[in-house]
Amino acid sequence: MSATCETCRWWALSVESYDEPANQCHRYAPRPTVWEQGRMFPGWAEWPQTLPDDWCGEHQPKEPTP
C-alpha cells in the first residue's frame, strides 16, 4: 500500500452541489481561500483539495473497516 491521499485517514470525499465531487484533506482546519480576481473574502475557508495520487508527510493509514 502506498502512502497517498487515497489511502490516508484524513482524506474525505465532499460532494459539492454545484460542481463535481471534491476530494479534500481534513488533516488540519480549513484555510482561508482566495476567490475572484485575487480577492479574499473574510470568513471564507476550505480544506485543501487533493488528487488520489497526491501525498504529503502527514499520511496516516485508514483504519480497517469491520
Separation of CA 52 from chain center: 10
Question: Nearest 10 degrees: CA dihedral of 26, 24, 4, 20?
Answer: 160
Nearest to 26 by CA among 42, 39, 44, 13: 13
Confidence category of residue 2, pLDDT binned at 50, 70, 90: confident
Question: DSSP letter at 4?
Answer: S
Q: How confident is the model at residue 64 (pLDDT cuts 50, 70, 90)?
A: confident
Task: Write the secondary structure of 13-57 as one string of H (helix), E (strand) and C (coil).
Answer: EECCCCCCCEEEECCCCCEEEEECCCEEEEEEEECCECCCCCCCC
